Structure 1
Amino acid sequence: MSVPHDVYNYTELTTSYMGFFYSEQFSKLFNTTHTGAAHSSAGMDYSVLGKTITTSLCFCLVQLTLFSFFRLMFKDLYQPRCYCVPVNERMDVLPRGFLSWIIPTLKYDAFNFLPLGLDAYLFVRFIHLLLLFFSVIGTLNIIILVPINWTGATSTHTSRGLDRLSLSNISPENTTRLHSHLVMALITISLFHWLVIYELQSFVKIRQSHLLSMRHKLKISTSTILIRNVPEYLRDLDVINQVFSVVPGGIKNVWFLYDFTGISEDVNDAKEAMQHLEMTEVSHLKKLLQIRHNDQTIDILAEMKNYQNDEKFYPPIHFKSFHIPTLDRKVRIKLPGFLRIFLRQKKVLKRDWSIQTLTAKHKSIENWKQLLSQGNIPKHSKLFIQFQSQTGAYVAHQCLLSQVQGNLDFTLIGVNSNDVLWHNLSRDNTVGYIVERYAVTLLLIAIIILYIFPVSFIGLFSQLPLLVRVIPSLRWVYAFPGDIRETLASLLPSIVLTMLTELVLVVFRFLIYFRGKATGCEIELNLQTWYFVFLFVQQFLVVTISSSITVIFKQIIDQPTSIPVLLATNLPRAATFFFQYFALKAFAFCGNSFLRIDQLILRYTIHRLKDRTPRQIFFRKTTLLKVRWGSLYPTFSVFSTIGISYCIISPLVNVFIVFILSLTLLYFKYALRFIFSHVNHSETHGRLYPIALLHMYAGIYCLEGCLIGIFFLSRDQNGNRSVSIDGWIMCLVLMVTIFGHITLYNRYVKHFSLLPILDDKKYENLTRREDGSFDFETLNRPPNHGPLIDREYYSNLKLHLLHPAFSYEHPRIWIPQDEYGIASMLITQLEEEVGDLKGGSNKGAIIEQGGRFFGPKISIFEAPPDYK
């Protein structure tokens, strides 16, 4: 069914109130006709898609082959959760067979990911859900609609290439065939709603069961809330206890937010000095070992004194932090030490500087701790309160706390002490703070809009002759054979789109931090929405709509009812682009993620040069990758949105969606089990999942809007609107969808972040005795939860939610053991000079002779002596 491009006049718009804001300069700025890059793939031939898939598949298979081989060699890189975590947290190692990792990974049940947190488990569930949905509707739509589309052409109307499988191939003589598309759309939309309702109900049960479990309740964070805008007269322990005595159970602990700037800077300086000291000692050890290796009769004690004075450097330049009143931010500048050359300063001995700095900073840190114990450190307008029970915490969290407007007006529950963004938390709610938040919001919106320009030029990469004229330095591509150039031209748009998307993600994370979020969890939740909007606009709308951006904006605002026309005239022509996009994305994601070639290269280059002490090696190996769910969920929400939008228009898209979801599931089942850290400080306890489900409605709206436009625009050979009744039916379906969307949101939104405090469900099946009274005895029996062990429960309550700098303890020197006992002598000598470094050790690390280029090799097999 070919929709003519001149059905609706996009250029001659009626004068409206938009004219007040509209100008010719504005039109010239945004009036680019290079949008709709996906239209360059319209009518793509089967051979072109086959070459794209074959090329991508070959690269992927090579990467998976290398992964299967390297997996057995570099175990700490490809299976770190089997070797680089505490023994009681290690996973069972997979069999050593070359491909023996595939079947066990696929069979691994999703429920096994629950210990990693609800975010991990629900993401795997999300991929399973999408696989089920697109497998079912894909099978139905391909079996029913593809034959209808394929045979819907006539001698005067036939689409080209892959478009023959889509709705675009139906000729005016066969417009009545569109009735089948209406029926399948109704089935698809009904199945979508059934799945969403089922999953939201399941989410509520799963989340409540998790939050109400005894293991979770024992965590300090479950009964602790963060309160902002605490007035000065309430920043007293006795007053706070009295004020919150109305909360059931009362208060258990209170942590004020003290001014941590001074002690934090001292702790950072002390850690830096300690790092330089260990590097110096290891460097001395290597030199002494080399001397001892060459001359067994050398006097090591004499040589130790000689080499203590041979390593000089320019120490880093630290400025005192200064306050920016307008933004209520403290900034500290650190400059590299080589800049001291311009001040004509001389180098200093690294060992002496490290010892002096460490001694001075330790003394300052002890003074800060003394001031804290005396209550002489200023307090900020935030505090943490731990209540006696989880119920008390949620009562306080769900109530309006203060009678004074603006006081105690923001609470946050379930804060992980390791997830707090202390510099954001220390800021007061000033005018500058509020302005900064809105300025960042406007900047995020501007990026979403202005990113249209780089994305709009993606189409150039599929037209090599034009691209070479624009960038003459690319003439070398003509050295390749024609088939390779054709394949390259089909791959480049998808590659460039992926690169542009990754770039903006970094910018979004940076900007959202400046919106004043108190925790990483809040950043992930906020990022999910912003990133989804960006991806939906740039990866879908911009690359599919061919009209001028200016015209689109004016058209939507002037006549919103023309949106279906806009979708109907653009979406069908862009279908084949997403075939390529999903195929390339699937193979590239799978191959790159498994192989991790960047980490493999860094392991034998940069890391070998940077990791100069056992402590550096230990933290690099044991600091496992962590999933940032705030950017992962929206990625697959957008994929599902695109799939839903095209599942009726071009059913073949379901094959590629299922393909990318299957490879994604394979990777994350392996990675969550063997690669990613099991600790997620920014855990949202599943709050990302229902938002991801509701984001999928964008695809339903696009599908319905596009079909409305197609049904109303379609005319038979006599010029009659033969399927207009289908359009009216779809309009009704759109209204029902909007109503259902709003109803579902209003019904479940409180369950996204709140917790029921009444245990009313257990009374549902309460039985009556013979005398008519209720039997409450069975309800009051305590449940048998079994043994419970939770490390956080036994942590130091006094320091738990204070800034980490206040819990700093004197470090213990750690250098590797050697065959001559030189390390022990170095530690003893250092402890005699610096009393704060008692308890040094050379256990858990060993140094051995290495190659010429990298020198002696350091190996570790235990944690540092001061590791917690």
Structure 2
Amino acid sequence: MGRSTFLEAANGLVSRAAQQQGSHRNTGSSLSALLSTLIPIFIVGTVAFLIFLIFRKKFTRIYAPRTYIHTLDRYEQTPKQSPGFLGFTKEFRKLADEFILGHSSFDNYLFLRLFKIMMTISFVGCIITWPVLFPVNATGGGGQSGLDILSFSNVSNHNRYYAHCLIGWVFFSFVMFMISRESLFYAYLRQAYLLSPYSTSLMSSKTVLFTDVPAEYRDEDRLRHVFQEVRYIWIGHDPSSLQDMVEDRDKAVIKLEGAEHKMIAQYVKKRNKKGDAGEWDGDGRQNNHAANIHIDPKDRPTHRTKPLIGKKVDTIDWARGELKHLVPKVAQEQAVQRGGKAEKISAVFIEFNTVRAAQSAYQQIAHQTPLKLQARDIGMKPDMVLWKNLGKSWWLVKILMFASTAVITFLCIFWTIPVAFIGVLTNVSYLTNKLPWLGFINNIPSQILGIVTGLLPVLLLSVLMTLVPIFCQLMAKTFEPTLAAVQLRTQSWYFAFEVIQVFLITTFSSGAASVATQIVQQPTQAPLLLAKNLPKASNFYISYFILFGLMTAALQLLNIVPLLFVLFLGKILDKTPRKMYNRYVSLTGIGWGSFYPKYTNLGVIALAYSCIAPLVLGFATVGFGLLFLAFRYNILFTLGTQVDTKGRAYARALQQLTVGIYVAEICMIGLFAIGASGSIVGVGPLILMIIFLLGTIIWHFQLRSAMQKHIAILPDDLLAEEYRASRLQNSDQEKGLSESEQEDVYKKQQEDSCSSGSAYQIPRTEEHPDAPPTGLVGKIKAFLFPNKFVSAAVIAKHILSPHLARRVRPYTDQEREEAYLHPAVTAEAPVIWIARDKFGLSHQEVMACKEQLGEHVEITDEGARYDDKGSLVWDQDDIREAPLWEDEPDY
């Protein structure tokens, strides 16, 4: 994502500013030093926010596309009104969660909820720690100055360690309760969402992907004998040669459209300069169609078939020739693939009649031989499948996974080498003093040297940090079967990188190399080493939270990359109606694998410093609050969903937050051990914290054990209810109704869903679940006892959006047949779309193309035109009328 790249650059500025402040750790951090770091970033953030306020209503496609591009919403009921300030109008304050769940996605809702959870933890942490630890630290007599007097480093009396220990017990217990509570809430919410009528009516919710299928089981009858309640089976094929032809065909279409645009636009501008005035008729075409327009060969677009050395050809004639050859050839090969004559691969997709049947098949051992006929995924939509990985054997997948993990591990440990090189650039003057042969650097002009030592390191660091998640995704795409699995794998890898490189290595003021050497030589000293360095580094993160939160929030709202495309880049890059249409209808999504780790790592840092430097919690509260506001606005009004993980990324982030608890406890144990070495008084807090660490391990093990299946599969009691409802709703379709009759049944079901207040109360374990308790006491009870006052039935009835009561429209026979076929097998020849001109050249080109290609390819000049200034415009009022619009099914 372009926006992520820009944010990485901003984060590089943040880190550099904070590091400049952190260089004064030994002398303490003053309030003036903190303000000198915050003020410049605050000014930049304020300017970005003001630009957002100015442009917000002017560029609604950038800042509020979900309010008017109704076809992007699966329910076609997105509100048309302009959004209020940050989305906090009365309506959205009341219905924000419901709106996101119903109109955005489950993943988007949970991502936003993560900021609420971390903000709540940080705020409650301030309430717990500040009243006790601030006085204890401030009067600790450690001789610190500035903000360091509020940290653990200012405590010299070992008796005061008991305060830190007991407050740690209280706060960490609260954090563990929050993680447990949220894990339980997620499980209930997941059950309610995935068993809502909308979700259960999706084909993907009842489809399971099996890999490593033995050759004898790549047969539909054999598979139906193994599995029960099978509705449809897609056996995977290897259309590699066909895929190459499809790609060449589509490239020829893009090449032809670009060449036609270049020629027609140039012709229109010439005619306009001559003062020629073509006339549009009522149909938007020049009256006489200006037949037989002659274009000088030197004005026709050309290109070389190979870069530099290829033959120079007329682009339009070449593209038409390619299409004339490829289109029928692709169609012929697709017919062969559909006929089952292609080579089968070891992967099958099986759709079952109900979600219960699909879940049962997903959990069962399907084959007597281990690792054969494995259920790899459930609920994946066709566009989320990585087809090239489906045919890979289990042992090759294991090798690739092991090798990739080894490479990422190496990356996590040794990434300090390129970062250290970049750090060298910031201290060029020091190098020239120590290494005289580098003296020529002093002769470089000061302006250029300032860029090399100031801006260049930041840009290089930003590029390096941006490349890490991209590299992780590329590695994961070599063996994972779906894009969701790629994002989850990237999340695990990138989180480890963030914790090690962004948190731990930064914490070690003595330098990464020396710390690593000491740990290797004396592994048992790792807690002590970390404990000594952690309090000293707290001032860095005090700034880091507010800077990261402010800059990221401002840049998220500003939406800088789409804004640049509207103002400048789009006019340069979007030269055809197709490009303008695709950019207009596409909503940017969040890359879970790269976004979650960055913000989860912030939560880890806040927890690690909570009892050592509690001031960090205050800045963490503000930072998470700003991030929540920014992402809340974008999720409500601008963001879509590119990859659906069914909330699994959120569940993983909750587990990753426990790393912050472990780091905090280990560091406190190290600090108490240092105190215990000089005084018997320090032994008490040390023993208590060790006991609490053991308790944390037991809690974490029990939580993972209890929730492991609940975050992966659905419970049988709710599936039984879904099965009963599905049989009732599908009874008419099982009688062999036609597609039109099924459509009537579907409309009747939708009307019943809208008129019945409990129609979407699936799953339900009781007929009329009570609403969550209200009032202060009731909310406290619901918060403390979620398993008693919150359930899947309660969430389905009182929290889920009513829109989730709507079932998707029935699938046609063709849609079902093509659902999980390789895209190359089903891809039709793209419509060639050029813009209409008032002189008739576009009409002439359309006729010429139809004459040469026949009926194999559709070409049109409707829906886009060149205005009187020769600029390309297209009709955005109703994108359903655009030639490229397709009413694609929601799988």
Do Structure 1 and Structure 2 share a fold, with TM-score over 0.5? Answer: yes
Aligned position for 1:693? 654
One-letter amino acid matched to 2:817:
K
One-letter amino acid matched to 2:539:
T
Of the three residues 647, 655, 659, the one matched with 2:618 is 655
> Is 2:835 the partner of 1:847?
no
**1:692 & 1:255 partners in 2: Cα distance?**
34
Conserved? CA contact 1:223–1:390, under 8 Å: yes
Describe the SS at the equivalent of 1:177: helix
Of the three residues 258, 261, 265, the one matched with 1:286 is 265
Aligned position for 1:49? 34
Aligned position for 1:711? 672
Distance 1:349 1:417, change over 3 A: same
**2:765 & 2:560 partners in 1: Cα distance?**
57
Describe the SS at the equivalent of 2:351: strand
Of the three residues 384, 389, 398, the one matched with 1:424 is 389
Of the three residues 53, 57, 60, the one matched with 1:75 is 60
Per-residue CA deviations over 1:415-474 (Å, capped at 9, x if unaligned) read: 11011111222434465x543332222111111111122445677688786478699869
**2:426 & 2:552 partners in 1: Cα distance?**
21
**2:630 & 2:381 partners in 1: Cα distance?**
28
Aligned position for 1:338? 307
**2:428 & 2:517 partners in 1: Cα distance?**
33
* Aligned-residue offset at 1:399: 1.0
Greater displacement, 220-229 / 463-472? 463-472
Conserved? CA contact 2:237–2:345, under 8 Å: yes
**1:721 & 1:51 partners in 2: Cα distance?**
43
Aligned position for 1:276? 255
Per-residue CA deviations over 1:588-647 (Å, capped at 9, x if unaligned) read: 212222223343334444432222211111112222211111222222211111101111
Aligned position for 1:306? 295
Aligned position for 1:257? 236
* Aligned-residue offset at 1:60: 0.3
Of the three residues 189, 206, 218, the one matched with 1:235 is 218
One-letter amino acid matched to 1:49:
L
* Aligned-residue offset at 1:188: 0.4
Aligned position for 2:400? 436
Aligned residues: 770
Aligned position for 1:125? 113
**1:106 & 1:457 partners in 2: Cα distance?**
49
Conserved? CA contact 1:149–1:170, under 8 Å: yes
Conserved? CA contact 2:328–2:856, under 8 Å: no
> Is 2:116 the partner of 1:161?
no
Cα RMSD after superposing both structures: 3.5
**2:277 & 2:138 partners in 1: Cα distance?**
89
Describe the SS at the equivalent of 2:79: coil
Aligned position for 2:79? 92
Per-residue CA deviations over 1:552-601 (Å, capped at 9, x if unaligned) read: 55765776553432222111111001112222212221222222334333
Kindly report which structure 2 residues correspond to 1:185-584, keeping only aligned pairs within 5 A, or say none: 185-244=168-227, 247=228, 250-293=229-272, 294=274, 296=276, 301=290, 304-307=293-296, 310-316=299-305, 337-341=306-310, 345=311, 347-429=312-394, 431=396, 434-455=398-419, 466=430, 500-514=464-478, 516-546=479-509, 561-584=524-547
Distance 1:107 1:47, change over 3 A: farther
Per-residue CA deviations over 1:304-328 (Å, capped at 9, x if unaligned) read: 2435774243355xxxxxxxxxxxx
One-letter amino acid matched to 1:358:
L
**2:804 & 2:586 partners in 1: Cα distance?**
32
One-letter amino acid matched to 1:367:
Q
* Aligned-residue offset at 1:134: 0.6
Per-residue CA deviations over 1:168-216 (Å, capped at 9, x if unaligned) read: 1123xx3322222122111101111111111111111111111122211
Per-residue CA deviations over 1:818-857 (Å, capped at 9, x if unaligned) read: 344543343233323321366543332231144xxxx633
Describe the SS at the equivalent of 2:337: helix
> Is 2:606 the partner of 1:643?
yes
Describe the SS at the equivalent of 1:348: strand
Distance 1:786 1:351, change over 3 A: closer
Conserved? CA contact 2:206–2:358, under 8 Å: yes
Conserved? CA contact 2:249–2:322, under 8 Å: yes
**1:497 & 1:37 partners in 2: Cα distance?**
18
> Per residue, is there more helix in 1 or in 2?
2
Compute the TM-score of the two structures, normalised by the length of structure 1: 0.81
Greater displacement, 42-51 / 108-117? 108-117
Of the three residues 701, 710, 714, the one matched with 1:755 is 714
Greater displacement, 434-443 / 454-463? 454-463
**1:128 & 1:413 partners in 2: Cα distance?**
29
Describe the SS at the equivalent of 1:252: strand
Greater displacement, 305-314 / 39-48? 305-314
Conserved? CA contact 2:346–2:390, under 8 Å: no
* Aligned-residue offset at 1:545: 2.3
Describe the SS at the equivalent of 2:192: helix
Structure 1: runs of 5 or more not aligned: 1-34, 317-336, 768-778
Taking only the aligned residue pairs, the percentage that are identical comes to 27
**1:40 & 1:533 partners in 2: Cα distance?**
28
**1:849 & 1:143 partners in 2: Cα distance?**
70
Describe the SS at the equivalent of 2:307: helix
Aligned position for 2:777? none
Greater displacement, 183-192 / 294-303? 294-303
Conserved? CA contact 1:455–1:543, under 8 Å: no
* Aligned-residue offset at 1:358: 0.6
Distance 1:694 1:475, change over 3 A: farther
> Is 2:586 the partner of 1:586?
no
> Is 2:856 the partner of 1:867?
no
**2:646 & 2:113 partners in 1: Cα distance?**
14
> Is 2:873 the partner of 1:858?
yes
Aligned position for 2:699? 740
**1:502 & 1:442 partners in 2: Cα distance?**
20
* Aligned-residue offset at 1:69: 0.8
Per-residue CA deviations over 1:208-232 (Å, capped at 9, x if unaligned) read: 1111222111111111111111121
Of the three residues 81, 100, 112, the one matched with 2:99 is 112
Conserved? CA contact 2:669–2:690, under 8 Å: yes
* Aligned-residue offset at 1:395: 1.1
Conserved? CA contact 1:273–1:357, under 8 Å: yes
Distance 1:555 1:282, change over 3 A: closer
* Aligned-residue offset at 1:513: 1.4
**2:875 & 2:101 partners in 1: Cα distance?**
31
Conserved? CA contact 1:424–1:517, under 8 Å: yes
Greater displacement, 189-198 / 813-822? 813-822
Describe the SS at the equivalent of 1:77: helix
* Aligned-residue offset at 1:167: 1.3
* Aligned-residue offset at 1:534: 0.6
One-letter amino acid matched to 1:419:
M
**1:787 & 1:117 partners in 2: Cα distance?**
15
**2:197 & 2:806 partners in 1: Cα distance?**
8
Distance 1:181 1:848, change over 3 A: same
**2:765 & 2:550 partners in 1: Cα distance?**
51
